[in-house]
Amino acid sequence: MIGRRLRAADSCENLRRVADKKSLRERILIQQGDITEMAVDAIVNAANNDLLLGAGVAGAIARKGGESIQQECNEIGSIPVGFAAITAAGKLKAKYVIHAASMGLGGVRTTAKSLQTSTAHSLRLAAERGLKTIAFPAIGTGVSGFPVDQCAEIMLREAAQHLSKETSLESVYFILYDKAAHDIFSAAFNHLLSQRTSSA
């Protein structure tokens, strides 16, 4: 009798993990495109800790979103490297911009730790606001030169961990500007899912 109960419990746990895998496949979405065109609750900016919108993703956000985004960033001021801040999205299709500060001005480049913590903080900020959809770029892989494969592994792991807990977020998008980055993120996501399956 006890043995049957244990087997039933193990079966339920395995089903839960399979459902979790399916859920992740449906909730983490990897696409090639322009993040500034995403009509989601929040897009994430690959920011510096002074929240100055310069080149790359930040520059595109500033151009398309208008001056109000930088003005809100100026009101917030500097934040620690590895943290994130949230502003309205100006003229963008998104409602908010979350500024993930994985690097600092003056040569403070993105590290694995600052990428991990700024990604996690961005997800928490979105959940605290009750947001349902969020879109990330490949943070730190532009000016800061962080390797795309390591970026994919870190960011996807943080997204999966966040979605495994109670959260308002229903979908996490990763929007990659070029096919090479898209393919790297897709491969990393498949690897992550296979790891979760093998550990079940």
Q: What is the pLDDT of residues 17-54, one digit of tens each?
A: 434 444 899 999 999 999 999 999 999 999 999 999 98
CA pair distance 190, 25, nearest whole angstrom: 9
Amino acid at position 132, single letter? K
Output the pTM of the full model.
Answer: 0.87
Sign of torsion over alpha carbons 151, 182, 104, 167: negative
Residue count (the chain): 200
**114 vs 2, residue with greater confidence:** 114
Q: Does an H or E element contain 171, and which?
A: strand 171-176
How high is the pLDDT of residue 186? 98
Q: Cα–Cα distances in Å, from 59 out to 51, 97, 137?
A: 11, 13, 13
How high is the pLDDT of residue 200? 55
Q: Could you give the angle at which helices 67-76 and 56-65 cross, rounded to 10 degrees?
A: 120
Instruction: Give pLDDT tens digits for 73-119.
Output: 999 999 999 999 999 999 999 999 999 999 987 778 999 999 999 99
138, 174 contact by CB (below 8 A):
yes
115, 132 contact by CB (below 8 A):
no
For 100, counting Cβ atoms within 10 Å of its Cβ (0-12 exposed, 13-18 middle, 19+ buried), the class is buried
Q: How confident is the model at residue 178 (pLDDT cuts 50, 70, 90)?
A: very high
Nearest to 162, CA basis, from 194, 195, 128? 128
Say how many C-beta atoms besides its own lie within 10 A of residue 88's C-beta. Answer: 14
Say how many C-beta atoms besides its own lie within 10 A of residue 20's C-beta. Answer: 17
Nearest to 118, CA basis, from 36, 56, 44, 33? 44
Say how many C-beta atoms besides its own lie within 10 A of residue 193's C-beta. Answer: 18
Q: Is CATH 3.40.220.10 the right assignment for the domain spanning 14-198?
A: yes
Amino acid at position 170, single letter? E
